[in-house]
Amino acid sequence: MLHTETLTLNKEFRRAYYRGRAFTTPVVVVYALKNHKGINRIGLTATKKIGKAVRRNRARRVLKEAYRLLEPQFPIGNDYVFVARTKTVFASTQEVMRAMRSVIEKLGKKS
């Protein structure tokens, strides 16, 4: 991933949850927050509500791959937290990409 690092600290995730803008789709919830750096930072989460470890890992893999393919389209200088939903486990990468494209369009309109 070209302009991307990962969020690792709990306080970074919490900052995105409380201060960021939330965009919900049936497949994924995206929290976006400006970070005033020249890079994007992403965090991927999947709760136990989704299922056991195999399903949670698949959901995170699908989200990460969809972001990787759409990375050039995301505005640079933001923190993104992608929260998997129950439908993410059964969704294809193309469906998740479609949901992320709608989030990118909403980000472009509100920026």
**Could you state, in order of their start, the residue ranges of all structural domains in the chain?**
4-110
Give the closest residue to 31 by CA, choosing from 46, 9, 14. Answer: 14
Architecture of domain 4-110: 2-Layer Sandwich (3.30)
Return d(Cα 91, Cα 89) in angstroms, integer: 6
Helix, strand or coil for residue 60? helix
**46 is written with which tokens?**
């999947």
Predicted confidence (pLDDT) at residue 12 exceeds the cutoff of 60 = yes
- Read off the pTM: 0.91
Mean pLDDT of 14-33: 94
The CA distance from 75 to 71, in Å, is: 9
pLDDT tens track for 48-85: 999 999 999 999 999 999 999 999 998 888 999 999 99
